[in-house]
Amino acid sequence: MVSEYERAASALQSIDPACDRASWVKLGMAAKAAGLKFEDFNQWSASAGNYAGESDCRTVWKSFSEQGAVTSASLFAMALTQGWKDPAKRVNGKAATSFGHRSKVVPAPGIQAESVKAVRVWELCEPMQPSPFAHPYMEKKRGVPDGVRVYPASAPPLTIQGQNVADWLVLPCWSGDKLQTLQFVPGDGPKLNLPGASFNDGFFTVGEIAASARVFIVEGIGQAWACNSATGDAAVVCFGAGRMATVAEALRATVPAAKLVLVPDRSKENQAEQIAAAINGEWCELPKDKPDNYDVNDYGLEYGCDALADLLSRTNAPQMRFKVQSGLDLCTAPPMRWMVRGVLPLQGLAALYGPSGSGKSFLTLDVAAAVADGASAWFGHRVVRCPVTYCALEGEAGMGKRVKAWSLHNKKPVPAHLRFITQPLDLLNTRDVADLAQAVQAAGGSNGMVILDTLNRAAPGADENSSMDMGSIIAAAKQLQILTGGLVLLVHHTGKDTTRGLRGHSSLYAALDGAIEVNKTDNRREWRVAKSKDEETGAVHAFKLSVVTLGCDADNEDISSCVVVPDDGVDAVKRAKLPSGGNQKIAFDTLNESLSKSVEGNKDGVPSEHPCIRMDEAVRLVAARLTCDAKRRTERAQQALTALVAKEVFCFEDEWLRRT
């Protein structure tokens, strides 16, 4: 007995999928109600020239309710109008035994489309006569008979969608040497596809691909004839715009070195551009004043072969991901563009980082104001005026005090092009990133600087040490930069070991186009260029925080904040060079900690205003904190201390070390 599933599959395959969309949707509802699967519906749909792809098909299928208004009866009713013979019904008193086997069934008159193979129908077709315009459609499109056939009136009648296709032109769809399906073309009217067979990755070719300098990819046979006639190059028929991508990918795999040129109908240029980019191909465009669906055959008939050949020679190529340049190209390339010369690039991703209490937020506000104000220089570095959007994520009250202190100290309001956002933000929420970018753009902040202070507050709940989480944070920051243009500056902390720089996964530092490191020791503060494209890093600038009294609170206590001012004193300049190596930084921090607690107010009985420590004790303390091999720690500690003395960070005299 024939199962209901087989019966429904038989009915669906008897119907031409190249119907209007409303009918196609209704058939999909009926097929789902009849128990068919998405794979059945998709395979059937894919054989149509107007197939829009699996994604579109799946979306529509998911929208169908299991118990919708359209039932399986609609499927069988429509199939019957197409000449379908229900295999579940008894014929001559006997029931059909299985779908697709008719040996025990009295043959129906003619050939029913749902029960034939493409090869069988193709064998019934007759080759076209070599004389030109041997068929009305060929005469209309100025085609050639090579590779096509006609379904003769003398053959058993073949009905598709109620149409007898006798004397219709027949185009084969080949995948290599395998015949996939057939398309039937009348003298006038819509083309029909053989039901029950899929196009897969097949196509029809006019001309010889191997002998062509180019291969044109077009929707239909008329366009292929026009391209081949005008240029002599091969043209491939996709059987519909929805199959261009599939055919283009198949061609690229088959002839990887070929120059593939997509020739879309008018208004489908964007689709062709995307496909060309995916297969490393090119595309042509028809005049923009032509109506939608105007094609190259229409252009050839209107302007002639020479004009069409000229049009097809003017191809567009998608921008290549990798650009090969000569030495001269590099030498003549435009120079790096800076927001703060040698410190912060005009575009990209940067960070300003340091330990808690180092003054990094005050320094961030200072550079933000300098950029927004168009100051001539910031710590001696030339500035380009740009709008700045400061996302102060650690509290509106604290930022308000800093802004007021800046204004009082500089005797003017903060620059008009410096704007602030204090609401919470989550970089890992794509909606937040999009909304932030929209707000920046609406306030005129495009192509400027967007500051996220701090990164930890901008990605709440993220694990900064996780490569996955940090990768997501970096991607979100870069997306924000793309949407707003200009520079995104991340304010971040150092870890417990300040010698290791930015806290969290190392991928963040690698992704930066620029970085400013802030350091603090006792009352001494410095910032240095830790990373800079095309510029020397390591430039150090001393600064200090100057206290600004803002007023009094309810208890008559002073309200104050700070502003950044350069520390240009002789001692600051002298001490400006911070330790550079990891061991030197460990020694520097260790000795500063020890000297702060030292009770050695004198040496050898001589009063001293500076705390001191014996060199051998300093070596012991530093060696205990080094992470190198235990046998080498004393030697490495001695080398680090010697370097610090040479840099005049510490002074060594009579076996005693002290600060300079």
Whether the pLDDT of residue 359 is over 50: the answer is yes
State how far the Cα of 254 lies from the Cα of 29, in Å rounded to an integer.
38
State how far the Cα of 47 lies from the Cα of 57, in Å rounded to an integer.
12
CATH value at residue 645 = 1.10.10
468 domain-assigned: yes
Do β-strands 377-378 and 381-382 pair in parallel, antiparallel, or remain unpaired? antiparallel
Are the CB atoms for 218 and 235 separated by under 8 Å?
A: yes
Whether the pLDDT of residue 50 is over 60: the answer is yes
State how far the Cα of 189 lies from the Cα of 168, in Å rounded to an integer.
11
134, 135, 137, 140 alpha-carbon torsion, rounded to 10°: 40
- Do 357 and 487 share a domain, yes or no? yes
Instruction: State the pTM of this model.
Output: 0.47
Are the CB atoms for 316 and 273 separated by under 8 Å?
A: yes
- Do 475 and 589 share a domain, yes or no? no
Tokens of 355: 């330990």
- Residue 11 C-beta-side C-alpha neighbours within 13 Å: 28
332 domain-assigned: no
From first CA to last CA, the distance across the chain in angstroms is 101
Residue 487: predicted pLDDT: 95
H or E element that contains 253? helix 244-254
- Do 165 and 301 share a domain, yes or no? no
CA-based nearest residue to 545, from 452, 406, 649: 406
- Do 569 and 644 share a domain, yes or no? no
With pLDDT > 90 as the criterion, what percentage of the chain qualifies?
Answer: 42
- Do 379 and 253 share a domain, yes or no? no
The residue assigned the tokens 């002298």 is 574
Determine the average pLDDT of the residues in 250-258. 91
Tokens of 106: 């009295």
Mean pLDDT of the chain: 84
Determine the average pLDDT of the residues in 422-434. 92
How far from chain centre, in Å, is Cα 172?
39
413 domain-assigned: yes
600 domain-assigned: yes
CATH value at residue 228 = 3.40.1360.10
CA-based radius of gyration for the chain: 39
- Do 442 and 298 share a domain, yes or no? no
- Do 414 and 498 share a domain, yes or no? yes
- Do 539 and 480 share a domain, yes or no? yes
Question: If DSSP codes are grouped into helix, strand and coil, which group holds residue 104?
Answer: coil
331 domain-assigned: no
Per-residue model confidence as pLDDT tens digits over 119-166 = 989 999 998 876 655 789 999 999 989 999 999 999 989 988 888 999
326 domain-assigned: no
- Do 291 and 376 share a domain, yes or no? no
Which of 190-199, 297-306, 611-620 has the highest average model confidence (pLDDT)?
297-306
Beta bridge partners of 216: 235, 261
- Residue 502 C-beta-side C-alpha neighbours within 13 Å: 27
**In 290-429, which ranges are continuous DSSP H helix?**
296-303, 305-313, 327-331, 360-373, 396-410
The band of 47, judged by pLDDT with boundaries at 50, 70 and 90, is low
State how far the Cα of 519 lies from the Cα of 611, in Å rounded to an integer.
22
Per-residue model confidence as pLDDT tens digits over 72-121 = 888 888 877 666 777 776 444 444 433 333 333 333 344 444 435 789 89
State how far the Cα of 157 lies from the Cα of 151, in Å rounded to an integer.
9
Residue 129: predicted pLDDT: 73
Contacts of 448 (CB under 8 A, 6+ apart): 371, 386, 387, 388, 389, 417, 440, 484, 485, 486, 487
Could you give phi then psi for residue 39, rounded to 5 degrees?
A: -60, -35
Residue 609: predicted pLDDT: 59
Beta strand extents in 5-148 (DSSP E only): 90-91, 94-95, 111-112, 126-127
- Do 377 and 507 share a domain, yes or no? yes
State how far the Cα of 133 lies from the Cα of 371, in Å rounded to an integer.
73
Are the CB atoms for 374 and 383 separated by under 8 Å?
A: yes
477 domain-assigned: yes
Give me the number of domains the chain comprises.
Answer: 5
- Of 41, 75, 108, which residue is a domain's last? 108
Are the CB atoms for 450 and 391 separated by under 8 Å?
A: yes
Tokens of 443: 């306030």
- Of 108, 143, 174, which residue is a domain's last? 108
The residue assigned the tokens 């149409």 is 163
Residue 584: predicted pLDDT: 83
Residue 328: predicted pLDDT: 84
State how far the Cα of 382 lies from the Cα of 379, in Å rounded to an integer.
9
553 domain-assigned: yes
- Do 506 and 567 share a domain, yes or no? yes
Beta bridge partners of 565: 544
Residue 475: predicted pLDDT: 93
Q: Which of 13-27, 198-212, 342-356, 505-519 has the lowest mean pLDDT?
A: 13-27
- Do 267 and 138 share a domain, yes or no? no
Question: If DSSP codes are grouped into helix, strand and coil, which group holds residue 85?
Answer: coil
Structural domain boundaries, residue 185: 116-200
Contacts of 4 (CB under 8 A, 6+ apart): 34, 35
Residue 598: predicted pLDDT: 57
- Of 200, 217, 251, which residue is a domain's last? 200
